[in-house]
Chains A and B, each alone.
Chain A
Amino acid sequence: MAKELLSGNEAIARGAYEAGITFASAYPGTPSTEILENIIRYKEDIYSQWGANEKTAMEEALGASFTGARALAAMKHVGLNVAADPLFSASYIGVTGALVIISADDPGMHSSQNEQDNRHYAVAAKLPVLEPADSQEAKDMVVEAVKISEMFDTPVMIRMTTRTSHSRSAVELGERQAPPVPEYKSDFAKRNLLPGNARKRHAAVEERLKKLAVFSDGFAYNVMLKGKERVGVLASGVSYQYGREVFPDAWFLKLALPYPFPVKLFQRFASMVDKIYVLEENDPIIETFARLAAPQKEIIGKDVFPLLGELSQDVVRASLGLKDLTPRHSLDGVPGRPPSLCAGCPHTAFFFDLGVLKVKSRGDIGCYTLGALRPLSAMDTCVDMGASITVQLGIEKALEKAGKSVPQVAVIGDSTFFHSGITGLVDVIYNQGKSTVIILDNSITAMTGHQENPGSGKTLLGQEARKVDILKLVRDGLGIEHAYEVDGYEVKAIRELLKREMARPEPSVIVVRRPCVLLYRKAKWSPMAVDKEKCTSCKVCLRLGCPAISSDADNKSLINEALCTGCGVCAQVCAFKAIHFVDDRGLHINSITLESFAGGGKR
């Protein structure tokens, strides 16, 4: 069969195809997003969709499994927190068709708010977890997960990490297995977790774990490699690769199925060596089991290797005192290059206005979290998906009790609002909050790379979908009387609305609408330019944090034509009318009305 260079995420998608999976659901989140984006390559064979959040995605996959279909749910590590409720129930219920859950962890927090180790979830929910070490294994593990799931009547988790998800290596492609034919048959005793049923299911789960532990001892991908020295390395995931770089002569035990831990296999391995290094990212999970299985053996783990951040061959060497990682050349004076809102971002004007009004907002998760960074600096909290609205309500109520009040603005994006903002807004109404909630609606899930969502008008497969109208949902559905919509490029209108609604002693919602600027790319727009005669070097335009604006040698503002999208926001904030459109190419980006903009991404 052909060999291809695949990322870990592409390999998971390929594995889903080969394993006869026919249902896949996910909510996008780095580093897991490309799994579903690649599963659509196999759309003839696999039904796939975005869920509104990870919990809905996992429950839908479980439902599919009830019919005997093989199902997959994918999410980033913190997404599994949202889906933890169905995860624990699914463990008790078991499966009919296989249920494979992909958790993509993010050691090093490249794009996340924490670096939790989701293997803990496998232990807590008492289900097996597989940990691939490269793309080939990522593909193979999906096929194995399907087998294990159906053989042991259990959901199976696959723990990816940023490095396994986003590294490419060669993968040998295989044939697709014929999927089972789905049919819904009722199974009350197994699937209705009333306490009477659930007690019996718990007993089944404990039995299952014992059998899985025996299976783990003989699992073909838990591999022992002979070494030349009596030194052993126990490793799982990509850490195995780092170990091979650092310890060329050691014995290796590579665990692709770290839980349930293969106790007998490990004890055999331990008898071959005098001491064992344990390499794993984040928490000491296999290390803990290893210490229990061989209490007399010298084991070196998290006492030496870091709990924080990713490992690498450098980090492993440095931990053992084999390499000094002090930079040879000092990087003092090298300015950082933090991420920022794009030139023409429809969120910029809003954050600028908050700055003018001297208001810090409660933030949420998405591109707009970058409104927290200099020079906009207009957001002081970012907790988790949906927490802008609820954290703010807590602040408001606690202050109110003490007779105090401060301007209360929560900021959330469209996709995050659908994910878990709606319930928070229900709390605001129900508990008579007075918050002003800003929904930054750019009609796409932008941060993760432009995925469709319930408001974008298209499905994962690009088919037309009914749009959930945020303004209607809020005003007519939840009954928030003061709900308004404003164009994201209208600096003054946004500011006036903000002032008015923050002062109102009632809950209000402002939907700041304008599609993500990256969706407009097909057209050529007139960029902006600075009239040097009129520019007074006041630098107000620089406070937008627009990547297209900088200062020239004369300290006057300068607009980079190649980056400028012509959104016109800088012209609106310039008090000296020093910024204008370069030419009239027939169209300005801000002349496209929201109504005339066709919905959906990938245009």
Chain B
Amino acid sequence: MKTKSILICGVGGQGILTASDLLSDVLLEAGYQVKKSEVHGMSQRGGDVISTVRYGDQVFSPLPALRETDYILAFEKLEALRNINYLSDKGIVLVNDFEWQPLPVAAGLEKYPQDVVAQLKKLAGELVLIPATRLAGELGNDKASNVVLIGLLASRMDIDKKLWLEVIRRKVPPRFIDLNLAAFESGFQFKA
């Protein structure tokens, strides 16, 4: 199998690394070779964060290539756009319908573009907008939005659903298991 790449992006503190860990564990469980990369430190203080996962029969580089990335999973709309040049021609873009103003925007120094979704639509093979933060909030904790997004990603990947649920049960602290299973399900079942 040709190596596939998934890019997960958003803002520091949104649970991006937890989501990419979960994804990597599922892929390993599914029998693939998996490599994941992430960035720490300076870039986590409210800055943009990227984690990438590549999987296949034999994976060399942990980094995805421009115009060769199969999925972009964005926790924030602007971040989807920032990374859009990684997307392959028929790539799938799954976006949390959520705006988080960067500080220069909040401070009135720059503008948040108003046509993010229109721009994404032009470039994506498939674009799904999901109100993950709201859906997670309705389940009792908007921090679970990352698992809602993972659920949506799972619905577009060819991996047995049971594996995802097993890994969530195994990796999530006991008191959050039900919340996260429900969050996964709401993303998995989501219809735009």
- The chain A residues found within 8 Å of chain B, CB to CB, are 3, 5, 30-31, 33-34, 110-111, 134, 162-163, 166-170, 238, 241-242, 244-245, 312-314, 323, 325, 327-329, 331, 333-342, 367, 370, 374-375, 447-449, 539, 542-543, 545, 547, 549-551, 562
Contacts and interface: CB of A to CB of B under 8 A. Distances in A.
A327 B62 contact: no
B153 to A, nearest CB: 18
Contacts of A313: 60-61, 63, 65
B107 A375 contact: yes
A329 to B, nearest CB: 6
B39 A547 contact: no
Interface centre among A329, A334, A448, A549 (most CB of B within 10 A): A334
B107 A542 contact: yes
Nearest to B46: A340
A74 to B, nearest CB: 15
Contact of B104 (A134, A168, A336): A336
A241 to B, nearest CB: 4
A333 B39 CA distance: 24
Interface string B125-143: 0000000000000000010
For the complex of A and B, list the 3 residue pairs with the smallest distance between their C-beta atoms, beginning with the closest. Answer: A111-B41, A30-B41, A550-B106
B161 interface: no
B78 A335 contact: yes
Nearest to A317: B65
Given A329-B123, A449-B40, A375 B78 contact: no
B82 interface: yes
Interface centre among B25, B47, B112 (most CB of A within 10 A): B47
B62 A238 contact: yes
A3 B31 CA distance: 12
Given A30-B41, A168-B36, A335 B123 contact: no
Interface centre among B85, B103, B109, B110 (most CB of A within 10 A): B103
B38 to A, nearest CB: 5
Nearest to A316: B61
Interface string B96-107: 000001111111
Contacts of B112: 335
B35 A244 contact: no
B67 A542 contact: no
26 contacts: A5-B21, A30-B40, A30-B41, A110-B39, A110-B43, A111-B40, A111-B41, A166-B38, A166-B39, A167-B62, A168-B21, A238-B61, A242-B63, A244-B61, A327-B85, A329-B123, A331-B85, A334-B113, A335-B78, A337-B79, A374-B107, A447-B42, A539-B108, A542-B108, A543-B107, A550-B107
B36 A5 contact: yes
Contacts of A374: 103-104, 107, 109
Main secondary structure of the interface of B (DSSP, over half): mixed
Contact of B33 (A30, A170, A244, A336): A170
B47 A329 contact: no
B65 A338 contact: no
B12 to A, nearest CB: 7
Given A329-B84, A329-B119, A547-B106, A339 B42 contact: yes
Interface string B9-52: 00110000000010011001000011111111111111110000
B103 A340 contact: yes
Contact of A328 (B21, B78, B85): B85
Interface centre among B39, B63, B119 (most CB of A within 10 A): B63
Given A542-B108, A551-B106, A169 B45 contact: no
B43 A111 contact: yes
A98 to B, nearest CB: 28
Contacts of B123: 329
B45 A241 contact: no
Main secondary structure of the interface of A (DSSP, over half): loop
B36 A448 contact: no
B81 interface: yes
Contacts of B82: 331, 334, 337
Contacts of A162: 39
A312 B36 contact: no
B121 interface: no
B34 A169 contact: yes
A314 B102 contact: no
Contacts of A335: 78, 102, 104-105, 110-113
B163 interface: no
A314 B86 CA distance: 11
Given A31-B41, A312-B61, A547-B103, A342 B81 contact: no
B28 A170 contact: yes
Contacts of A3: 28
Given A242-B61, A335-B102, A375-B107, A167 B40 contact: no
Contacts of B78: 334-335, 337
A331 B48 CA distance: 15
B66 interface: yes
Contact of A245 (B12, B40, B61): B61
A111 B110 CA distance: 25
Given A31-B41, A111-B42, A242-B61, A334 B81 contact: yes
A138 to B, nearest CB: 13
Contacts of A337: 11, 46-48, 78-79, 82, 102-103
Contacts of B39: 110, 162, 166
A267 B103 CA distance: 55
A249 B66 CA distance: 22
A168 B102 contact: no
B33 to A, nearest CB: 7
Contacts of B24: 5, 168
Nearest to A134: B35
Contact of A545 (B59, B66, B107, B119): B107
B81 to A, nearest CB: 6
Nearest to B28: A5
A325 B78 CA distance: 21
Interface in B54-76: 59-63, 65-67
Contacts of B63: 163, 242, 312-314
Contacts of B85: 327-329, 331
B146 to A, nearest CB: 16
Contacts of A367: 45
Contact of B106 (A31, A168, A341, A542): A542
B2 to A, nearest CB: 12
Contacts of B28: 3, 5, 170
Nearest to B58: A244
Contact of B45 (A5, A167, A327, A339): A339
A244 B60 contact: yes
A339 B62 CA distance: 24
A494 to B, nearest CB: 22
Contacts of B62: 163, 167-169, 238, 241
B40 A312 contact: no
A299 to B, nearest CB: 22
